[in-house]
Amino acid sequence: MKTFLTGVCCLVLALMLYVTISASLNQDIVSATRQLWPDPWFRATLADAYCGFLFFWLWVDWREQSLAKSILWFILIMTLGNIAMAGYLLVQLWHIRGGENLDRLFSRKESP
């Protein structure tokens, strides 16, 4: 399961980097947002994405036990979205040893 999750995270990370870089080479985000903002489906999709980022960050905040790390991950998730989320999961999966189960991924970290 760890290998599967790592593969999915790497795939999401690669896809998001590709589409983000491609889009930024085509058009800057400020002018794209100005053009798209009037569209209600754009606003709905944006709100949906940021609500999802917030829910993911709440899990990160619950796990981390460190205010500094929680704030750092909040900033990364809100600015980089799924790129940061895939990165967070890859970092957490990296710390799970081969014989360990994934319970550690879904529990709070020990206080330092």
Q: Please state, in angstroms and rounded to a whole number, the distance separating the CA atoms of residues 64 and 66.
A: 5
Amino acid at 53: F
Mind listing the pLDDT tens digit for each residue in 46-71? 999 999 999 999 999 999 989 999 99
DSSP string computed for 13-37:
HHHHHHHHHHHHHHS-HHHHHHHHT
* Nearest partner of 62 among 50, 74, 52, 51, judged by Cα: 74
**Whole-structure pTM value:** 0.85
Q: Is the pLDDT of residue 111 over 70?
A: no
Tokens 């606003």 correspond to what residue? 43
Mind listing the pLDDT tens digit for each residue in 27-47? 998 998 999 999 999 999 999
